[in-house]
Amino acid sequence: MRYSGFKVFTEGLTGNKGWKPVWRDPEPKSEYDIVLIGGGGHGLSTAYYLAKNHGLKNIAVLEKGYIGSGNIGRNTTIVRANYFLPGNSEFYSHSLKLWENLEAELNYNVMHSQRGLINLFHSDGQRDAFARRGNAMINQGDDAILLDREGVRQHLPYLDFDNIRFPVYGALFHPRGGTARHDAVAWGYARGADMRGVDLIQNCEVTGIDIEGGQVRGVRTSRGVIRAKKVAMVAAGRSGQVAAMAGMRLPIESHILQAFVTEGLKPVIHHVVSFGMGHFYISQSDKGGLVFGGDLDFYSSYAQRGNLPMKEHVMEAAMTLMPMIGKARVLRSWGGVMDMSPDGSPIIDKTHIDGLFVNCGWNYGGFKAVPASGWAYAHLIATGEPHETAKRYRLDRFRTGRGIMDEEGTGSQHNLH
């Protein structure tokens, strides 16, 4: 079913009885050409581009829960292309271009809103670092504007500019940055993949990976054995556990990241804003809730909930930056399991086992990567060659030390090393 304004209008007049399920609920077949382990944003976009870009159809996405139950439905929805290092820079630039056409591509409203991202700085040293980052972004073909203090005030008059510890010096403004509705992205890709013949199999947990003579043969699941010529792991926070089924030990730590939302308020925060002196960032959803988050909880866990000290830390940072937020009431908070790589950059690569592929290490930032990751992973699975935007996301960089991309010290437990 194609969506259109006319369809919404006619359904409104006829009691909304003509809508159909957005994807099928097929039984798993005994064999596929390609099996993807994980129905999060990256698994779904990979399935979509395998079908769309490479004409492959005999594909299953195996999801142990329901579509959208992982980090794809838990993140704070920030989409940006403000990376500095070669390797990351061109990848996220490509991703933002895909975002800019995503609704037309999927015929699905993912509510992509380019409201602008403002990264604040609070010292001369930080200004230099942001100026350098801004130049790298412009070199890559993306947009960046260095704002002085008065420039920031025009956009964000509600900040505490003269905070005694962290006065605002200025900001790096990325106008094409913004947000999108996270679960709509999952649903849009799921629908697009399903329409092209991909089987989306929910409540199907992979419990083992079968390998014979160095070649992958299929997977064992809670719904039976499924044979496959190629198996692609894309399980985000559970990547370490899934790879262990193939006897692999990934350079990944799984950590909790929390997020918070307030009651709905009238429009007050019109951008995505990030504090340069504490790990705190915020935007306002279209429903009016202030959506914000901070740092990791700093212990490894697979629980999708966080601890109280980090909640306190995030609230302190919020009050330091914008004291007005103290009037808002927090509605709820939640956590997601982050696949943290040592250098904070992802992995999209083959493994030493023929036909077995790995996609993980998305850290805090894998939502904005969903389109480009799916694009590049599909290319790798279909052709056997890395896509040009993802050539540097090699697994062996952590063994050889060559090609480490430590973007901003946000990998696993940097502060503890």
Instruction: Tell how many helices (H) and how many strands (E) occur in the chain.
Output: 11, 18
The number of angstroms, rounded, from the C-alpha of 220 to the middle of its chain's C-alpha atoms is: 27
- Scanning the structure block, which residue is given the tokens 């279209």? 286
Q: Smallest distance, Å, CB 314 to ligand FAD? A: 11
Pair 376, 390: CB distance under 8 Å: yes
Question: Which lies closer to ligand FAD via its Cβ, residue 160 or residue 406?
Answer: 406
Q: How far apart are CA 76 and CA 334, in angstroms?
A: 11
Question: Which lies closer to ligand FAD via its Cβ, residue 136 or residue 185?
Answer: 185
Adjacent-strand bridge partners of 284:
290
- Show Cβ contacts of residue 150 under 8 Å, excluding neighbours closer than 6 positions: none
Q: Smallest distance, Å, CB 75 to ligand FAD? A: 3
Question: Which lies closer to ligand FAD via its Cβ, residue 153 or residue 311?
Answer: 311
Q: Smallest distance, Å, CB 373 to ligand FAD? A: 8
Q: Smallest distance, Å, CB 195 to ligand FAD? A: 20
| Residue whose beta carbon is closest to ligand FAD | 40
Q: How far apart are CA 155 and CA 66, in angstroms?
A: 40
Write out the residues near ligand FAD by the rule CB under 6 A: 37-43, 62-65, 69-72, 74-78, 205-206, 234-238, 242, 257-259, 293, 336, 338, 362, 364-368
- Show Cβ contacts of residue 402 under 8 Å, excluding neighbours closer than 6 positions: none
Q: Smallest distance, Å, CB 12 to ligand FAD? A: 32
Q: Smallest distance, Å, CB 123 to ligand FAD? A: 25
Residue 242, SS3 per DSSP: helix
Q: How far apart are CA 138 and CA 396, in angstroms?
A: 30
Alpha helices, DSSP H, located in 14-57: 41-54
Question: Which lies closer to ligand FAD via its Cβ, residue 200 or residue 328?
Answer: 200
